Amino acid sequence: MPSNLLRIQKMLLYVCMGLVAALFVLYLGFMTQYFVLFFDGTMETFEFYKQLQVFNKEAFSIALWFIVVVALLYAFGLARYRPGLGSLLATVGATAVIISRSMALLGVLPVYKRGYLALDFEPMEDYVPTTFVFDTAVTMHYLLIGAFVLLTLVALASFSQRLREGKPLVRKLL
């Protein structure tokens, strides 16, 4: 049973790492979809583009924090060991950070999407408005929250298994 929990924990950690990497790449290229608003648009689309840049800067910095958080969990050895108390606390803290920062972005993404859809694209002849990037970001944040909650639950189960076996609260580092 413990080896199954460890395999699930390892798989979930790698899923979290993949989602964080994908979210990082998404926010890295977020503005690429909308550069035409700056070059070929009206003053209204230009103003929206500037607002979107402010959002993208914040979202990108949050994605960088997510990379640090998931790297910390990997450094704590969640892919190799059942968590000790420190690893469990790091996992719970990481999940809290992911949830709080993702919820902040999830509250703002629909506002920007509505603002984008409200723009007048008539002067931009060949431009086809798309909300793919907004929708993908929302989906990825929900997947990330779910993956981190599952990782925390599995780490908690693995930690309790560790305690039932009489192992110490804190895992030896060397």
Tens digits of per-residue pLDDT, 120-172?
A: 888 888 888 889 999 999 999 999 999 999 999 999 999 888 888 887 767 66
Percent of the chain with pLDDT over 90: 59
Q: What phi and psi values does residue 40 have, to the nearest 5 degrees? A: -110, 0
Long-range contacts of 67-76 (CB under 8 A, 24+ apart): 67/20, 67/21, 67/24, 69/20, 69/94, 69/97, 69/98, 70/13, 70/16, 70/17, 70/20, 70/94, 73/13, 73/16, 73/151, 74/13, 74/17
Average pLDDT over residues 96-107: 96
Range with the largest mean pLDDT of 16-20, 40-44, 115-119, 128-132: 16-20
**What distance in Å separates the CA atoms of residue 113 and residue 59, rounded to the nearest whole number?**
15
Q: What phi and psi values does residue 169 have, to the nearest 5 degrees? A: -60, -35
Task: Give the domain ranges of the chain.
Answer: 2-164
CB 122 within 8 A of CB 68: no
Which residue has 């723009």 as its token pair?
Answer: 119
Confidence of residue 173 (pLDDT cuts 50, 70, 90): low
Q: How far is CA 129 from CA 28, 33, 99, 112, 119, in A?
A: 20, 9, 30, 13, 10
